Structure 1
């Protein structure tokens, strides 16, 4: 995420094998943040998950639980990736996960200008609501039981790689699927997921009556046993390298 500052030694390290890793990272961050005045007397500071921002103003209320959730892509709790900064932009404390430790880096020398102004919170909330609306649209209710073995349409978000849509394909559609939609391609029932071209995804979406967004999602066909359908329906499994 670009948080590590080249040539800067960490102010503290927390080994990844440390018991209660998330709590230890949070405790170490809070100690450094208070010592170096990243957090002011009222518990206020700026935070971002990328060096490009946006910097969001926050305030500590109660216990700190950042390292558990602000982690790298597909990383475990405690494998933290975030940057915090004093409100006046005078000092920064970045947290990043390296090979064996979580590094906490305090930096004053490289900060020459105040941080960018905080985002318009109303616009931020509106964007959040819009994101939630889209996620609701593209992550419908779980598949209804009972489930049978059969073909499914999978839609993985191109940025997060998360499975956002999972649609069962009715038998009457799947019987005509290969000759009518895929032509000479015949993925087997034990084959890896078959990636659909954009035109194929649009055609299948029309047949199934489901929304298709090929800019945001990559679409795949897969034959799944009922048990796999049920598991993916519950956990929204991450794409196993499909969109790499």
Structure 2
């Protein structure tokens, strides 16, 4: 997190060891935020999970649960990563997880520019809707039963490495399409997934009539039995080794 770069000393530290970490981090943040006027009298402030924004205006209602949810990738609750700012842009309070403690950093010195403009909430919501629509397009509902042994097309997101789409390949297509892609490879549930080139994935998508986005996804063919299809469809498996 950029707010801790350059030798900035924390205003408070919360040890990772011990119970109720999320509650302890939230309590420490709230104390500092009130003390340094990050939060105004009505409980309002700006928040973001990256220094680049977007800065979202929020208001405290009831109990705090920020440290429980605003964490680093795959991190447990309490391992917080977020930045808060006063509405007028005069002071920031960043929360970031280090090796043994969660650091809380208050920063006034680095804020030399005018406060960020108020976020366009409607534009933010529209961008969120577009993202959700895109994810829905490339990550439809799970495979429908009954499931049979056969070929599947796997699409792993290049950044998250999550399985975002799992296509069943109809038998009539697999018999005619795959010889050019896989050569003499025989269908076997013991064989590892076969990576497709971008051109192969595009060609297969066109033949099957399914959307293919090679800039965001890496594509693989795999022969799976019905049990493996069901398990992978339910789990949305992560396969970092395939995209390394």
TM-score past 0.5 threshold:
yes
Q: Does 1:233 align with 2:243?
A: no
Offset at 1:43? 0.9
Structure 2: distance between partners of 1:15 and 1:193? 43
SS of corresponding position for 1:83: strand
Q: Which residue of the partner structure matches residue 181 of structure 1? A: 181
TM-score, structure 2 as length reference: 0.87
Report if the CA contact (8 A) 1:79-1:102 is conserved.
yes
Distance 1:22 1:172, change over 3 A: farther
Report if the CA contact (8 A) 1:182-1:200 is conserved.
no
1:1-244 maps to which residues of 2 (within 5 A)? Answer: 1-183=1-183, 189-244=189-244
Offset at 1:201? 0.8
Distance 1:200 1:25, change over 3 A: same
Structure 1 unmatched ranges of 5 or more: none
SS of corresponding position for 1:119: coil
Structure 1: distance between partners of 2:238 and 2:80? 19
Structure 2: distance between partners of 1:146 and 1:241? 30
Structure 2: distance between partners of 1:2 and 1:193? 39
Structure 2: distance between partners of 1:221 and 1:44? 50
Structure 2: distance between partners of 1:38 and 1:69? 20
Report if the CA contact (8 A) 1:44-1:59 is conserved.
yes
Structure 1: distance between partners of 2:68 and 2:229? 29
Distance 1:189 1:71, change over 3 A: same
Structure 2 unmatched ranges of 5 or more: none
Structure 2: distance between partners of 1:4 and 1:147? 51
Structure 2: distance between partners of 1:140 and 1:72? 26
1:112-170, CA deviations, whole angstroms, 9 ceiling, x for partnerless residues? 22332132222111111111111111111111123334332121223333322111223
Instruction: Count residues in correspondence.
Output: 244
Structure 2: distance between partners of 1:22 and 1:224? 42
